[in-house]
Amino acid sequence: MAAIEIVQGDITSLEVDAIVNAANRTLLGGGGVDGAIHRAAGPELLEACRSLNGCRTGEAKITPGFRLSARYVIHTVGPVWHGGDRQEEQLLAACYRNSLELAERHGLTSIAFPGISTGVYGFPVARACPIAIGEARGFLERTEMISRIVFCCFSGADLDVYRKNLAAEQ
**Which residues are part of the catalytic machinery?**
34
User: What is the smallest separation between the CB atom of 106 and ligand AR6, expressed in angstroms?
Assistant: 22
User: What is the smallest separation between the CB atom of 2 and ligand AR6, expressed in angstroms?
Assistant: 22
- Confirm if 20 and 99 have CB atoms less than 8 A apart: yes
Q: Tell me the three-class secondary structure of the chain, residue by residue.
A: CCEEEEEECCHHHCCCCEEEEEECCCCCCCCHHHHHHHHHHCHHHHHHHHCCCCCCCCCEEEEECCCCCCCEEEEEECCCCCCCCCCHHHHHHHHHHHHHHHHHHCCCCEEEECCCCCCCCCCCHHHHHHHHHHHHHHHHHHCCCCCEEEEEECCHHHHHHHHHHHHHHC
Q: Which is nearer to ligand AR6, 57 or 140 (CB)?
A: 57
User: What is the smallest separation between the CB atom of 142 and ligand AR6, expressed in angstroms?
Assistant: 25
Q: Which is nearer to ligand AR6, 70 or 103 (CB)?
A: 70
User: What is the smallest separation between the CB atom of 141 and ligand AR6, expressed in angstroms?
Assistant: 26
Q: Which is nearer to ligand AR6, 23 or 100 (CB)?
A: 23
Identify the sign of the CA torsion 16, 22, 41, 56.
Answer: positive
Q: Which is nearer to ligand AR6, 34 or 103 (CB)?
A: 34
Q: Residues interacting with ligand AR6, by CB under 6 A? A: 10-12, 22-24, 30-34, 36, 78, 114-121, 152, 154-155, 158
